[in-house]
Amino acid sequence: MKLMKLWNLAKTHAAIVIAVLILMGCTAMTGRQSAGEAFDDTAITAKVKSSLLADSVVSASTIDVDTTDGAVSLNGIVKSVQERQRAIQLAQSTQGVRMVDARNLVVRR
């Protein structure tokens, strides 16, 4: 009986250690963002993508949106300079966006 209790206690401690190590690994993979910061970035990305999808000038399916610490990166190929500018404008006007990097958003020639 005592041995079984010790065994269960050891399993519980092992599970806690594993959970802590996993959480530490996730923090390292996200550039040391807190869970709240990662959630904010996810929300910003979703808002930018929604804006792009709702706009008649922008072809949202060709634009990838990534957000880190409020900095939005737009990547992909667009049909015109106007479409590129509109995508940048939509991203910049999204709440929570600190800056927009559109170096990798190129106009097809």
Answer with the residue of higher pLDDT: 11 or 75: 75
10 Å Cβ neighbour count for 40?
16
pLDDT digits (tens, 9 = 90+) for 16-37: 656 555 655 655 455 555 656 6
Helix and strand element counts for the chain (H, E): 3, 3
Answer with the residue of higher pLDDT: 95 or 6: 95
Q: What is the pLDDT of residue 28?
A: 47
pLDDT digits (tens, 9 = 90+) for 52-92: 999 999 988 999 999 999 999 999 999 999 999 999 999 99
pTM for this model (two decimals): 0.67
Residue identified by tokens 């996810």 is: 42
Helix (H, G, I), strand (E, B) or coil at 67: strand
